[in-house]
Structure 1
Amino acid sequence: MFAIRFAGGLDDARTWVVPVGAPGDDDVGAEVSALAAATPDARKAGEVTVLPRPLRRPARVLLAGAGDGDEAGWRAAGAAIVRALTDDEQAQVRLPDDLSPDALRGLAEGLWLGGYRYREAPKPPRSGDVELVVRESPAYAEALAQARATATATWLARDLTNTPSSLKNPAWFADQVVAEAAKRPGMTVKVLAGEELERFGGLVAVGGASVSPPRFVEVSWTPPAAPDARHVVLVGKGITFDTGGISIKPRDGMWLMKKDMGGAAAVLGATLAAADLELPVRVTTLLPLAENAVGAAAFRPGDIIRHYDGTTSESTNSDAEGRLVLADALGYATERLNPDTIVVLATLTGANAVALGKRTAALYSEDDALAGQLEAAGSAAGERMWRLPLPADYVEYLSSEIADRHSSPTHVSSVVAALFLREFMGDVKSWAHLDMSAPAWAQAHDGDLTKGATGWGARTLVRYLALLDGGQ
């Protein structure tokens, strides 16, 4: 990640960035005020107007709009600013002294998120940096640290999701988890493979046809000062590539399936951020990792699968594989981890995109308090979600004549998938499921999103976990 730091004053050797309305009584301030007055949309969040100043210093000034000046407006401004800079450009942002810490956090997040570039891209990463010219304070320093942790989590989630599946198999993903956790004191990792997965019937079935065997990863953050803190279990779908199995996807539905582990990437990033911020909340993250391939060993439509908790599912569609691996993870969580809360993130169905579009995830929960916390966290983070119902009369769609339940009925797929997951929550009443298939990928740069993987959910979960601490 490129550097963002505080500076005590402006340096005219650098590019200046001046938000609309920021004070300035020098000649630059007068020119900026005149430009803003002549540009109707200059104040709009995410709008950047370039003021060239040939033969003068600074030689270039960017006029940036932050809308109403809330955190979202400053996040949009940050993303637009970084895209207006060249890779090696050194810039300073002149900020008002009364800027709120939340606004500063939004600006820094926008700069980092808008400046993301996949680590294996042919174009090298940015070498420039950005200085924030404002009176430094502990509140600003904390806001910048929070933004850095959130952006780091999102960058990692984007990197993992953008990685081609020719490299990204379950073993590779597990190795990334081990390497990242090793950098952070207080974190532990357990990786299960081979015969250790005997009870994970869904995971073994889904991953059975691939030359890359499945893995089950448990990664934990326990705050040293609060080992008995509230325990949140995060579960992320980790299908490293999804062909659909024997129920093979059409070409247009398959080419992007390297993103089918976006949920696992996001929950991992959020867990690492909890350690970076030393949040006093216990977090255990479960990553069921498999490649859903086509082959002689593939599970078949009509197969009966026995899950970790001993119950069985009838599967008539091998392309409804995500819920099968998540069921094993949930059974493991309820039997072994004694969680206070479970939150599932999964690129589970494409159906919710029909109702909610490409920027909004579907939220399912029976806990109003938890749903409210996640909605508030998502709103603050800039990741939208919409709560959908869990109708009691839809449960009958899960009925099977030959197993405990049917995993893939053809009715209302997003809602029924959530109802299926609920069957494995045991006695845990505080649970939520976020179906985030559509917002996990952006077809073009869009605000703080860059083309490709979005890392959707990492930001929301960092905010949610901090909220449990009474933080922001």
Structure 2
Amino acid sequence: MADSRLLPPQVSPPEFALSPALPHQVGGAEVWALPVLPGDDGPLLGPGADEAAERLGVDLLGALESARATGRAGELVTVPVVSDDVRLVVLVGVGDQSPTDLRRAGASLARALKDRASVVTTVASIAPDEALAAFVVGTMLGSFGFHWRSDGPAERPVGRVVLAGLPDAEERDEALARAIALGGAGWRSRMLASVPSNLKNPGWLAEQAREIGEAAGLEVTVWDEERLAAEGFGGILAVGAGSATPPRLVRMDYTPHGASRRTPTVALVGKGITFDTGGLDIKPPDNMLTMKRDMSGGAAVIATMAALRDVDCPVRVVGLVPMAENAIGGSSMRPGDVIRHYGGRTTEVTNTDAEGRLVMADAMAYAVREVEPDVLVDVATLTGAMKVALGLNTAGYFASHDGLAARFDAASAESGELVWRLPLVDDYRERITSKVADADNSAGSPMAITAAHFLEAFSGDLPWLHLDFASHAEAPADRHEWTQGPTGFGPRLLLAWLGSDDPLEGVV
């Protein structure tokens, strides 16, 4: 009998190809997609439109006028045609042709072309490399789907996207490959976060990390519960104690080509709580519904690590993902328990639903002591307070170093994954104190800041950045490149930073 927990085959992102030809010169496509640019006297049609209109005998400008189109980013006008060449023409608004607008145009087009075999589009021909990459990433991520249906997925992404009208197509191969790597990392992170927790326990997620990492040429090490106990990872063990599936810690090592002793090292730590009931301080039902994606920080680190070679990251990177299920059982940690982290620091547990920082603390302490990185970054869906502060579309971060913050801000602008720096206010540091231990794991308001101060104690004296994207971990509806459900936030941001020419410029 088949295992009912076996994940069914999932849909794949579209395939992409480059071509110097215009759509009417490319045979076998089901759809032609042409860009529409805003103009002072009305929208303008981009490359290939005149030839398409003449070939098909269709008034495309008239179709825009009838639809009262403006050319804003992501606006679509569909024109069915009867032709041996093509079945549908889609006119795609590209706004001001910025990376953001082209990313949104790609996502909008992808949603309109579900279950189509192929599309030839000249949208990318009006864009420089960075905007071409944004269009590809938007098209990929707007195509994302996840299912566990007995009869297969309800819809599939368009099979093939030909980026046409590029006279220098051969010179764009590198830009396309990088874009596919960025979009693929976002897709992978989103997929891992979407898997239900009756399959996705710490052991399963650790095995996924091993397979993904080894396929990317990384060195991967996995700690089981016995090794975690022997080496003193008390936070990870305490959070996972109530679950029938024991915790894990995964380490993934990337070394760039030509690395030497002087090559700096970045440590990435990602929260890997495969399901969060809240523990004995149990969550309300509505708050628990999305907790299969409470390992999104870990998914972001896994997906980032697997794509570092694709973006030619010039520094060493060590990814650490502590994995546990925060469940309820006779052996669950209790409010009032004191746990000892890796390295010896102790924490009083005053709220079992503030569990993410307990596992993160162990991994951060290990990174400082054993990895000895030049920079430490942790990534987590840590506090609901971040959603109160920033809403649903922006993540928050805290940084101990202005140069590192500047690098992150630049990566955010490039990637389209938006972040906002919040203050590490000294006045709130005293709130994490405990009468019986080194710290209290739930020091209260302002919760995002006190959580950051808790983790800060495990960062050593390193340049450190704490990214809390609980505000952007779940999309309530399709919006731009985000599809309803877990967002898979983080890999594009991290790869834009780590894939830059000098990620640590101004930092070390």
Query: If the TM-score is normalised by the length of the shorter chain, which range does it land in?
Result: over 0.9
Q: C-alpha displacement at 1:243, in angstroms? A: 0.6
Q: Which residue of 1 aligns with 2:53?
A: 28
* Mapping 1:51-450, distance limit 5 Å: 51-55=79-83, 57-95=85-123, 97=125, 99-118=127-146, 120=148, 122-123=152-153, 125-126=156-157, 128-133=159-164, 134-137=166-169, 139-185=171-217, 187-198=218-229, 199-228=232-261, 229-428=263-462, 430-450=463-483
1:463 aligns with 2:496: yes
Closer, same or farther: CA 96–442 of 1 in aligned 2, 3 Å: closer
Change (3 A) 1:92 1:230: same
Distance 1:245 1:96, change over 3 A: closer
Per-residue deviation, 1:58: 3.0
CA positional deviation for 1:227: 4.2
- Say which SS state the counterpart of residue 43 (structure 1) adopts: coil
1:310-358 deviation per Cα after TM superposition (whole angstroms, max 9, x unaligned): 1111111000000000000110000001111111110101111112001
Taking a change above 3 Å as real, the CA distance of residues 108 and 462 of structure 1, as seen in their structure-2 partners, is same
Secondary structure of the corresponding residue to residue 317 of structure 2: strand
Query: Is this contact kept in 1: 2:189–2:296, CA < 8 A?
Result: yes
Q: Which runs of 5+ in 1 are unaligned?
A: none
Moved beyond 6 Å, runs of 4+: none
Contact map agreement 1:6 1:136 (CA 8 A) in 2: no
The superposition leaves residues 42-96 of structure 1 with CA deviations (integer Å, 9 ceiling, x where unpaired) of 4111111101223564331100011100111111011111111131331100247
List per-residue Cα deviations over 1:17-64 (Å, max 9, x = no partner). 000131343351773333334544441111111012235643311000
CA deviation vs aligned residue, 1:437-466 (integer Å, no higher than 9, x gap)? 121111211110111111101110010101
Counterparts of 1:302 and 1:360, CA distance in 2: 34
Following superposition, the deviation at residue 150 of structure 1 comes to: 0.9
Q: Is the 8 A contact 2:497 2:503 kept in 1?
A: no
What residue identity is the alignment partner of 2:119?
A: A
Aligned residues of 1:168 and 1:240 also touching (Cα < 8 A): yes
- Decide which moves more: 336-345 or 84-93: 84-93
Range with bigger deviation, 272-281 or 77-86: 272-281
Question: Is residue 37 of structure 2 the alignment partner of residue 5 of structure 1?
Answer: no
Percent of matched pairs sharing the same residue: 40
Tell me how far apart the structure 1 counterparts of residues 336 and 323 of structure 2 sit (CA, whole Å): 23
Amino acid at match of 2:134: G
Task: Tell me by how many angstroms 1:12 deviates.
Answer: 5.7
- Retained in 1: the 8 A contact 2:399–2:465? yes
Cα pair distance change 1:395/1:96, threshold 3 Å? closer
Q: Secondary structure at the match of 1:159?
A: helix
CA distance in 2 between partners of 1:158 and 1:96 (Å): 25
Secondary structure of the 1:28 match is: helix
SS in 2 for 1:26: helix
The answer (yes or no) to whether the contact 1:281–1:468 under 8 Å persists in 2 is no
CA 1:59–1:137: 2 relative to 1, 3 Å: closer
C-alpha RMSD of the superposition: 1.9
1:435 counterpart letter in structure 2: D
Opposite residue 201 of structure 2, the aligned amino acid is N
Partner-residue secondary structure (3-state), 1:276: coil
TM-superposed deviation, 1:224: 3.0
**1: CA distance between counterparts of 2:488 and 2:69?**
30
In 1, Cα distance between equivalents of 2:386 and 2:343: 28
Q: Which runs of 5+ in 2 are unaligned?
A: 1-12, 37-44
Q: Is the 8 A contact 2:69 2:75 kept in 1?
A: yes
Larger mean CA deviation between 272-281 and 233-242 belongs to 272-281
Give secondary structure in 2 for the equivalent of 1:455: coil
Instruction: Return the alpha-carbon distance in structure 2 between the equivalents of residues 47 and 404 of structure 1.
Output: 55
Change (3 A) 1:157 1:119: farther
Distance across 2 between alignment mates of 1:427 and 1:27:
62
Moved more, 78-87 or 203-212: 78-87
Q: Judging changes above 3 Å, is the alpha-carbon distance between structure 1 residues 150 and 27 closer, same or farther for their aligned structure 2 residues?
A: closer
SS at match of 1:209: coil
Please tell me the residue identity of whatever aligns with 1:167: L
TM-score under structure 2 length normalisation: 0.89
2: CA distance, partners of 1:213 / 1:145? 38
Measured against aligned partners, the alpha-carbon deviations of 1:260-300 in whole angstroms (never above 9, x if no partner) come to 00000011101111023332221100000000011110111
Q: Which secondary structure does the structure 1 equivalent of 2:73 belong to? A: coil
CA distance in 2, matches of 1:163, 1:27: 43
The number of equivalent residue pairs is 469
Residue 19 in 1 paired to residue 53 in 2? no
Letter in 2 for 1:94: T
CA change 1:97–1:275 in 2 (3 A) is closer
Q: 2:397, 2:421 within 8 Å by CA — same for their partners in 1?
A: yes
